């Protein structure tokens, strides 16, 4: 009897056995086969053991898209040790707050990346250079298939950070079992095969990258990590994608909108592309129509996907159709589509009771791809990871997404709005109160409120504050604590922020200014 594939390591070994001589990872200067990747991951595993990674629980990896980073990631999975990416270009305080959430991680640093203040991290945490960890000389004969079996489906594979309303990032814990569901869905529903070439456009600390990684290296496909500097250079990016014969694209809509505005003819001229997936924010309908029309007459699918970080990246998909661009539908956003078979779900009211079909309610998701909560924060987990709304006496876990939706009679789900002050901006999930908490931590600032304003096909964050400091001081606070994508584009100082009848800051009125 064959052993059940209950962890990612066993699945990866099956992929290696079948596609060992095929390219797994390709960079601009070199490709690596599945056999090479597997052997290097085994060596790196011993390097992690040598550095007592078991005692430190989590491996913190730099999001540099280097070959060694992918090797270290696979090595951590083999040990059953969670990995977590940190952005080397984020403010130091942001990185330190994430490392604090992880506890006492082994911090792997990339000596080739000089953008981070390394000394401060090295003084506080056990650190090791990426090249040394992955090149420790140990024989492959020391490996044991038994160690691969000991990792269970509930073992945490990675921790992905999202914005936190209190000012501290939340670490979402995703297990081996969660990812096995996602990989099956990618193969069965999206239709990714070993012949595909996936564009690694997304940054590794962003949950869209989960699709890139697990949709390629665990299906036998080839992943082409794209350097960050290429992302803003339309000519170079699309020349590269065309040269590499990329067949599957996945990104946030704003990246496609940007390149459509800069070089539309190049965007719709990829000769090997067969699937363009996008998600993480609303795709403006005029730009989406432009992309649709550019690929008319060719077998290219445009697919809108949706899913919270807490539910392993993606939980629904909607392939666009001709009828979605009828004149009467041009002011409607693309539906979220049908929820994946790997999820159960309910649309509920404020009391967590299911609403009738056609009524608006909060989407809650259950099933094997729902994550395991927030790392080290049971208090936060209990608020949004709840019992089955349809059968509250059951133990199965549901995640309250915070998204207000309407389920149609045909089973399609459409997004309406949020229940809180969370937004999606450039694909990133941002809690506006986190921006406010950073500002309010500064001296002589009395009030602060961040709002999101939509202008045409794009939007921006605007901050209003009341205090005795000038705008330059506020900007300095934000730059020290928050990554660039979270910083307000506009900042206005006021004598006092408007209040509603309950005496609270009137966010609606500020949004209308």
Higher pLDDT, 167 or 273: 273
pLDDT at 93 over 50: yes
Mean pLDDT confidence for 373-401? 84
C-alpha to C-alpha distances, 105 to 89, 91, 494, nearest whole angstrom: 19, 19, 43
Mean pLDDT confidence for 403-411? 88
Q: Can you tell me the distance from the alpha carbon of 169 to that of 181, in angstroms, rounded to the nearest whole number?
A: 26
Fold exhibited by the domain 425-512: GMP Synthetase; Chain A, domain 3 (3.30.300)
Q: What is the pLDDT of residue 158?
A: 98
pLDDT at 272 over 90: yes
Which residues of the chain form CATH 3.30.300.30? Answer: 425-512
Largest CA distance in the chain: 74
pLDDT at 116 over 70: no
pLDDT at 413 over 50: yes
Mean pLDDT of the chain: 88
Give the torsion sign (CA, 492, 494, 498, 504).
Answer: positive
Mean pLDDT confidence for 434-455? 84
- Give the residue from 97, 93, 53, 99 showing the smallest Cα distance to 75: 53
Residues 6+ apart with CB under 8 A from 31: 23, 25, 222
Mean pLDDT confidence for 124-131? 88
Q: Can you tell me the distance from the alpha carbon of 23 to that of 20, in angstroms, rounded to the nearest whole number?
A: 8
Share of the chain above pLDDT 70, in %: 92
Q: What is the pLDDT of residue 2?
A: 42
Which residues of the chain form CATH 2.30.38.10? Answer: 339-414
pLDDT at 129 over 50: yes
User: What digits encode the pLDDT tens for the residues 326-361?
Assistant: 998 887 888 999 999 889 999 998 888 889 999 989
- Residue 66 — φ and ψ, nearest 5°? -85, 160
pLDDT at 190 over 80: yes
Helix, strand or coil, per DSSP, at residue 340 = coil
E strand spans, 307-377? 316-319, 338-339, 343-348, 360-367
Under the banding of pLDDT at 50, 70 and 90, the label for residue 457 is low
pLDDT at 143 over 90: no
Mean pLDDT confidence for 79-94? 92
Mean pLDDT confidence for 436-442? 83
Q: How far is CA 272 from the centre of its chain?
A: 26
pLDDT at 288 over 60: yes
Report the range of poorest mean pLDDT among 1-5, 9-13, 190-194, 493-497: 1-5
Q: How far is CA 350 from the centre of its chain?
A: 27
pLDDT at 242 over 50: yes
Fold exhibited by the domain 339-414: Luciferase; domain 3 (2.30.38)
Mean pLDDT confidence for 64-75? 95
Report the range of poorest mean pLDDT among 352-366, 415-429, 486-500: 415-429
Q: What is the pLDDT of residue 329?
A: 86
Residues 6+ apart with CB under 8 A from 497: 447, 449, 464, 465, 466, 505, 506, 510
- Give the residue from 334, 232, 336 showing the smallest Cα distance to 284: 334
Q: What is the pLDDT of residue 459?
A: 85
Report the range of poorest mean pLDDT among 213-217, 402-406, 438-442: 438-442
E strand spans, 34-155? 59-62, 83-86, 106-109, 126-129
Residues 6+ apart with CB under 8 A from 219: 15, 183, 186, 187, 192, 193, 194, 196
Q: What is the pLDDT of residue 3?
A: 54
Mean pLDDT confidence for 105-126? 82
C-alpha to C-alpha distances, 30 to 103, 174, 405, 512, nearest whole angstrom: 36, 31, 45, 52
User: What digits encode the pLDDT tens for the residues 149-183?
Assistant: 578 899 999 999 987 656 678 999 999 999 999 99
Under the banding of pLDDT at 50, 70 and 90, the label for residue 210 is very high
pTM for the whole structure: 0.85
User: What digits encode the pLDDT tens for the residues 460-490?
Assistant: 999 999 888 999 999 999 998 899 999 999 9
pLDDT at 35 over 90: yes
Report the range of poorest mean pLDDT among 238-242, 410-414, 425-429: 425-429
Mean pLDDT confidence for 437-451? 84
pLDDT at 140 over 50: no
């Amino acid at each position: 009897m064959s052993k059940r594939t209950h962890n990612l390591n066993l699945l990866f070994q099956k992929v290696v056995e079948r596609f060992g001589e095929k390219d797994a990872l390709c960079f601009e200067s070199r490709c690596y086969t599945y056999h090479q990747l597997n052997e290097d991951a085994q060596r790196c595993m011993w390097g992690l053991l040598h550095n007592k990674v078991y005692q430190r629980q989590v491996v913190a990896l730099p999001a540099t898209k280097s070959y060694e980073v992918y090797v270290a990631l696979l090595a951590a999975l083999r040990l059953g040790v969670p990995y977590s990416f940190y952005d080397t270009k984020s403010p130091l305080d942001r990185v330190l707050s994430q490392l604090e959430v992880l506890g006492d991680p082994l911090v792997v640093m990339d000596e080739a990346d000089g953008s981070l203040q390394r000394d401060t991290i090295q003084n506080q945490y056990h650190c090791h250079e990426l090249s040394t960890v992955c090149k420790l000389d140990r024989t492959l004969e020391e490996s044991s298939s038994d160690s691969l079996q000991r990792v269970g489906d509930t073992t945490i594979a990675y921790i992905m950070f999202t914005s936190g309303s209190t000012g501290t990032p939340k670490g979402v814990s995703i297990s081996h079992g969660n990812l096995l569901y996602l990989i099956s869905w990618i193969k069965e529903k999206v239709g990714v095969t070993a012949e595909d070439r996936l564009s690694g456009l997304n940054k590794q600390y962003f949950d869209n990258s989960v699709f890139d990684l697990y949709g390629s290296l665990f299906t036998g496909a080839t992943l082409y990590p794209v350097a960050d500097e290429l992302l803003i250079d339309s000519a170079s990016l699309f020349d590269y994608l065309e040269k590499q014969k990329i067949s599957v694209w996945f990104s946030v809509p704003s990246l496609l909108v940007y390149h459509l505005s800069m070089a539309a003819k190049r965007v719709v001229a990829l000769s090997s592309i067969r699937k363009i997936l996008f998600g993480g924010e609303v795709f403006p309908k005029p730009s989406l129509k432009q992309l649709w029309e550019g690929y008319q007459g060719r077998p290219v699918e445009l697919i809108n996907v949706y899913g919270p970080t807490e539910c392993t990246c993606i939980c629904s998909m909607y392939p666009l159709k001709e009828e979605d661009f009828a004149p009467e539908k041009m002011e409607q956003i693309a539906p979220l589509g049908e929820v994946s078979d790997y999820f159960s779900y309910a649309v509920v009211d404020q009391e967590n009771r299911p609403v009738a079909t056609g009524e608006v309610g909060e989407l809650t998701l259950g099933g094997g791809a729902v994550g395991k909560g927030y790392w080290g924060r049971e208090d936060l987990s209990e608020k949004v990871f709840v019992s089955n709304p349809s059968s509250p006496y059951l133990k199965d876990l549901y995640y309250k997404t915070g998204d207000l939706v309407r389920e149609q009679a045909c089973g399609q789900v459409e997004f309406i709005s949020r229940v809180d002050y969370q937004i999606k901006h450039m694909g990133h999930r941002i809690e506006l109160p986190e921006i406010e908490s950073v500002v309010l931590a500064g001296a002589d600032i009395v009030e602060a409120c961040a709002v999101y304003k939509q202008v045409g096909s794009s939007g921006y964050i605007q901050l209003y504050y009341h205090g005795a400091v000038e705008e330059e001081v506020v900007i300095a606070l934000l730059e020290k604590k928050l990554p660039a994508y979270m910083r307000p584009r506009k900042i206005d100082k006021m004598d006092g922020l408007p209040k509603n009848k309950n005496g609270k800051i009137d966010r609606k009125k500020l949004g209308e200014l």
